[in-house]
Amino acid sequence: MCAGQVAGGFQTLLYEKRESVAYVTLNRPEALNVYNVKMRDELYEVLGAIRDDPDVNAVVLKGAGDRAFCAGADLSEFLTAPPPAAARRVRWERDVWGLFLSLPQPVVAALHGYVLGSGIEMALCCDLRVASDDARFGLPEVTLGIIPAAGGSQTLPRTIGRAKSLEMLLTNRWIDAREALSAGLVNRVVGRKDLIPTVERLAGQLASLPPPVARAVKEAVSRGASLSLQEGLDMERRLVQRLLSHPAVLQAIGSRLQARAGRFHDPPPL
C-alpha cells in the first residue's frame, strides 16, 4: 500500500500508512469505540498485514472521536457464547491479542477519554502509551460477574505490579492519567490537543531507527521477561551478534559515527 493510502472496506477501523508509520484508528465513536466482534475480525486482518509489511517501521493505535479511546467490549456479543467447539475455533483463528503481542514493529498507543476493560487490555499490548490529561482507566468486569478475558489479569500486574492491579481488578476503582503515569501504566501525559502531535513525533522517531534494531529491542525485552538474568544476557549477546552481521545496521552505525565525529570537530561558537 502506498504512503498516505487508506485501506477501504472496514466498518470499525480506519487504516492509513504514511511513509513508514501505520495508523490504526478504532472507529466507532458513536459507541465510544467499544470493541465488538466485527472490530476483532478487522483488527486481526489489519494487524496481520502490518506484521508482514516490510515497509512499516512503527505503528500508532488511537481512537476516533472526543470521548474515548475504547470504553470496553460489547458484552452483548461476547457473552453470547457459541458452542464450545466453535468458540475454540474462533479464538484460535482470531487471536487478536496474541497477534498484537507478536508485532515486531514498536507500537505506540494514543489514549484519551475512557480507557476501560478491553481498552486497557489493547493498550497494554502496545509498547509505549501516551495519555491525554482527560484519560480515565478502569477494569469494570468484576461488577458484571466476570474477569478480564483478553489478558488484563496478566498484562496489568506485569506493568504496574500486583497490589495496584488487584485494587483495580477487585474494586473497579478508576484512575486518572496522572495516577496512571505514577503507576507506570502510561509513559507520558500531555494536554488533549498535544496528544496526537506527541504520538506522531514519537512514532516518527521510532520509525527512523534501523528496523532490525527496533525489532531487536522489542525481542530482547519481551522474551527476556520470562528468562533468568543469565539466559537473558545470553539472548542479548546473540541479538547483538545478529545485528552486527546485518548490512543495514552496519551502514547506520557508520553514518551515525561519522555524523557524531563531525559535530565534535566543529569549532566552538564565537
Q: Model confidence at 89, in pLDDT bands (50, 70, 90)?
A: very low
CATH number of 6-207: 3.90.226.10
Annotate 207-236 with b (16+ C-beta within 10 A) or e (fewer): beebbbebbbebebeeebeeeeeeebeeeb
Residue 134: Cβ within 10 Å count = 17
Annotate 59-76 with b (16+ C-beta within 10 A) or e (fewer): bbbbbbbeebbbbbbbbe
Interval 173-229: pLDDT, tens: 999 999 999 999 999 999 999 999 999 999 999 999 988 888 888 988 888 888 889
Catalytic pick among 121, 179, 219, 236: 121
SS3 63: strand
Catalytic pick among 42, 45, 77, 141: 141
Residue 11: Cβ within 10 Å count = 11
Q: Model confidence at 164, in pLDDT bands (50, 70, 90)?
A: very high
pLDDT greater than 90 at residue 128: yes
Q: Cβ distance 140 to 109 under 8 Å?
A: no
Q: For residue 8, give every residue at least 6 positions away whose Cβ sits within 8 Å of its Cβ, in sequence order, or none.
A: none
Show me where the domains of the chain are located: 6-207, 211-264
**pTM score of the predicted model:** 0.82
Q: Model confidence at 8, in pLDDT bands (50, 70, 90)?
A: low
Task: Strands of the chain (E only): list them.
Answer: 6-7, 13-18, 21-26, 58-63, 68-70, 107-111, 114-116, 128-132, 136-138, 175-176, 188-190
Residue range 90-99: average pLDDT? 68
Q: What's the pLDDT at 135?
A: 97
What's the mean pLDDT when you consider all of the chain?
85
Q: Model confidence at 5, in pLDDT bands (50, 70, 90)?
A: very low
CA distances from residue 218 to 95, 186, 224, 225 in whole angstroms, order as listed: 20, 17, 10, 11
Residue 42 bears catalytic tag: no
pLDDT greater than 70 at residue 172: yes
Residue 121 bears catalytic tag: yes
* Amino acid, res. 148: P
pLDDT greater than 90 at residue 75: no
